[in-house]
Structure 1
């Protein structure tokens, strides 16, 4: 009798595992089909089902984070990445998504902290540039100047560019080094140091000759000097 009970329990457990595996595979197929049809809501729903089946450290939480990030749902992206980072604290992509999400949510101080955490791990000039930009937006001009000078001193691989909105109909991609020089110029302007600002904008144009916004700042400063 005991042997029969053991066999019966084993069969039940095996069936449960098989059903769970089948359900997981079904949800994965559902995700694939939903994404093929551009239905991110259904894809997210299927991912939640897999997380519920696999447990709190399911890799599909990562998939959810990317899904929300690409959909520009920054609040949900932040909540998911913040959760995952509690046990994957050194994942650089998740840290960056968290920082970008916080910035887009308007939580600038928290975004600055997130980029600062990234910078300690990457020593990346783009992350230093982002910190300077956030400090400038927070009117912390002296801190921004220190950060932008640090960004300028860090290695640059020449691969990254920054997009600037010139007007409502035109965006311009500018090399990161030129963007750093431009941000330095803006910082000097806020510190009422026009001479230093002019030198920074000139360097930005030298690095990227078609830099529309830097040229515009130079024109404004030259007109101010003339008057």
Structure 2
């Protein structure tokens, strides 16, 4: 019986020695170097997977899946504005102007110089009829990018909002810009086709409309004639001149 007790004591001693060694080994595994392989559920791996699925969804014209993946990428990468910019553009292409405007405005709260945010906000708000809110975004877009179409849209919205002096100033800036003569705009015709005219001719036609609204018929006539001198077949300018 004494011999068995000796064996039991010996076993207990061995256990007491082995257990700390095992614990020390476990601790070294926990606190040691990070394994060289990247875990499958890491942010980088998940981002790569979501980007691949987004690309496939866009290729297969599945906008609903594409949007879900963009939302997941936005949640996982809150400091990367390229994802909300892509989402805003996608909503705009789908003609969901309320959603595209909201996303774009959120982008501009974080970066008021985002060209994508400014462009989507401007055109979305215009489509929604919020011209007063769209106008400053068109103005900023032109100032930051030098885009002449944004300047034309600025002048047109100013005219629509009856801000005639501001509209004339914008139109004259456009007419004086040499690059405007190299660019064209499309206008609808009576037969539902589109007609391409120079941006300068379009600006002169708009200038005529501004003068017409102000009751300056002589100046309006001169502007419409200037537009027709540049594009003799400019149907809208012909109609405006005839209305005088």
> What TM-score do you get using the length of structure 1 for normalisation?
0.83
Q: Shift in Å at residue 156 of structure 1?
A: 1.9
Q: For residue 83 of structure 1, what is the aligned residue in structure 2?
A: 106
Q: Deviations over 1:138-197 (max 9, x none)?
A: 122333223222222234254432222223722222221111001001111111111111
SS in 2 for 1:19: coil
Task: Say how many residue pairs are matched.
Answer: 221
Secondary structure in 2 matching 1:174: strand
User: 1:148 aligned to 2:171?
Assistant: yes
Q: Which moved more, 1:8-17 or 1:43-52?
A: 8-17
Aligned residues of 1:189 and 1:197 also touching (Cα < 8 A): yes
Mean Cα deviation higher: 11-20 or 131-140: 11-20
Measured against aligned partners, the alpha-carbon deviations of 1:39-70 in whole angstroms (never above 9, x if no partner) come to: 11211111111222223435322221221222
Gaps of 5+ in 1: 222-227
Tell me if structure 1 keeps the 8 A contact 2:180–2:199. Answer: no
Task: Select which of 174, 185, 205 maps to 1:162.
Answer: 185
> Secondary structure of the residue that 1:167 maps to in structure 2?
coil
Matched, 1:50 2:73: yes
* Cα distance between partner residues in 1 of 2:73 and 2:175: 45
For the pair 1:7 / 2:26, whether they are aligned, the reply is: no
Q: Please give the alpha-carbon distance, in whole angstroms, between the structure 2 residues aligned to 1:168 and 1:40.
A: 34
Asked which structure has the greater RCO (Cα within 8 Å, sep 6+), the reply is 1
Q: Which residue of 174, 186, 196 maps to 2:209?
A: 186
Structure 2 counterpart of 1:72? 95
CA 1:8–1:160 in structure 2 vs 1: closer, same or farther (change >3 Å)?
A: farther
TM-score (norm 2): 0.78
Q: Quick check: which has more Rg, 1 or 2? A: 2
**Matched residue of 1:18: which SS?**
coil
After superposing the two structures, state which structure 1 stretch, 30-39 or 121-130, moved more: 121-130
- Unaligned ranges ≥5, structure 2: 1-22
- 1:69-218 alignment to 2 at 5 Å? 69-167=92-190, 169-218=192-241
